[in-house]
Amino acid sequence: MSLLEIKNLTVSFDTAAGPFMAVQGIDLSIEPREVLAIVGESGSGKSVSMLAVMGLLPNTATVKADRMAFDGIDLLKLSPSERRKIVGKDISMIFQEPIASLNPCFTAGFQIEEVLRFHMGMDRAQRRARAIELMKLVGIADPELRLGSFPHQMSGGQCQRIMIAIAIACNPKLLIADEPTTALDVTIQKQILDLLVSLQAKYGMGLIMITHNMGVVAETADRVIVQYKGRKMEEADVLSLFQSPKSNYTRALLSALPENAVGDRLPTVSDMLFEPAPSGASA
């Protein structure tokens, strides 16, 4: 059974100019222990579809799907309070801006322990021990000391490690990482990606990487979904995507990488993509 199964997901936002379709009929599934990358440029709906799974979209959004099931549970039929028991425990998510996604008013330790209290019902001593264990796991030196640190006292890389610690605190079955390294330096990016992949392998989580960086896809994913303007353009395993991309859009994206430049001009997406019709894509 798939860990997460989504059929024909549509998300629209009510705007002054009428409904805006951010996601148009996306099918997606991820198996346990799999790393799935969703690639696309800004506005491709890659984050919105995952926020819909988490139930984190604002009231102006309308989510429709034929099926949206996590581990056999139909997410569409859950009440908000039932869903809160799953979100943050069995499915968790980390975001792009690590410093902005932590609460500046509370210490790192408090924010890790908050999840443990809410979802696991641990007592104070257990929480503290688990928080220290988690901080060691994500590679933070001096965890006892760092429990008392506020987000502004740590670097971006350390904050992202804290975010990961919070996300994996309850041993989730599925971890969604939304551009986890975009705000970080390349050397730190490498460390965070290595950490995510090693944790994924160690605990057998499903991992969904949302990114716009083809390099990150190449370094982490098993399977890749390419999205453009809310539609799925292509789905393939990572090797065949890079070796023989099927849709025009993927081909255009790959050739726009500066390292693939031929001569002194870069081909741009508009050079190749005359008609962004989803019919050209292989589902």
Partner 1 sequence: MTRVVEGKNIVRDYHVGGGLFTGPRTVHAVKDVSFNVDKGKTLAIVGESGSGKSTLARIITLIDPATAGELFIDGKKVDIAKSGLSKEMRRKVQIVFQNPYGSLNPRQKIGDVLGEPLLINTDKPAAERRDLAMKMLKKVGLGHEHYNRYPHMFSGGQRQRIAIARALMVNPSLLVLDEPVSALDLSVQAQVLNLLADLQDEFQLTYVFISHDLSVVRYIADDVMVMYLGEAVEYGSRDEVFADPKHSYTRTLFAATPRADVASIKARLAKKKAA
d(CA 224, CA 238): 6
Q: How many residues does the chain have?
A: 283
Kindly tell me which of 77 and 190 has the beta carbon lying closer to partner 1.
Answer: 190
Among 267, 276, 278, 280, the residue binding partner 1 under the rule CB under 8 A is 267
- The 3-state DSSP composition of the chain as helix, strand, coil percent (nearest 5) reads 40, 25, 35
- Using the minimum distance from each CB to partner 1, give the nearer residue, 93 or 241: 241
Give the range of 15-23, 47-55, 105-113, 213-221 binding partner 1 by CB under 8 A. Answer: 213-221
Q: Which of 59, 79, 81, 270 is the binder for partner 1 (CB under 8 A)?
A: 270
Residue 215 binds partner 1 (CB under 8 A): yes
For residue 77, give the DSSP letter.
G
Copy the structure tokens of residue 278: 């989803």
169 and 115 in contact (C-beta within 8 Å)? yes
Q: Does 277 bind partner 1 (CB under 8 A)?
A: no
> Residue 203, CB half-sphere, CA atoms under 13 Å: how many?
20
| Contacts (Cβ under 8 Å, ≥6 apart) of 154 | 108, 146, 162
Residues 237-266 that bind partner 1 (CB under 8 A): 238-239, 242-243, 252-254, 256-259, 261, 264-266
Which residues does residue 7 pair with via DSSP β-bridges, in sequence order?
67
Does residue 213 bind partner 1 (CB under 8 A)?
Answer: yes
Does 185 help bind partner 1 (rule: CB under 8 A)?
Answer: yes
CA distances from 233 to 23, 61, 62, 169, 251 (A): 12, 23, 23, 35, 11
| Residues contacting residue 61 through CB under 8 Å, at least 6 positions apart | 11, 12, 13, 14, 22, 48, 52
Q: Work out which of 48, 112, 135, 193 binds partner 1, going by CB under 8 A.
A: 193
Nearer to partner 1, 142 or 259 (CB): 259
Give the closest residue to 177 by CA, choosing from 208, 155, 200.
208
Residue whose CB is less far from partner 1, 48 or 53: 48
Question: Binding residue for partner 1 (CB under 8 A) from 219, 229, 276, 280?
Answer: 219
Q: Mask of contacts with partner 1, 42-71, x by CB under 8 A?
A: x-----------------------------
Question: With binding defined as CB under 8 A, does residue 100 bind partner 1?
Answer: no
Comparison of 61 and 254: residue with beta carbon closer to partner 1? 254
Q: Which residues contact partner 1 (rule: CB under 8 A)? A: 41-42, 185-190, 193, 201, 212-219, 238-239, 242-243, 252-254, 256-259, 261, 264-270
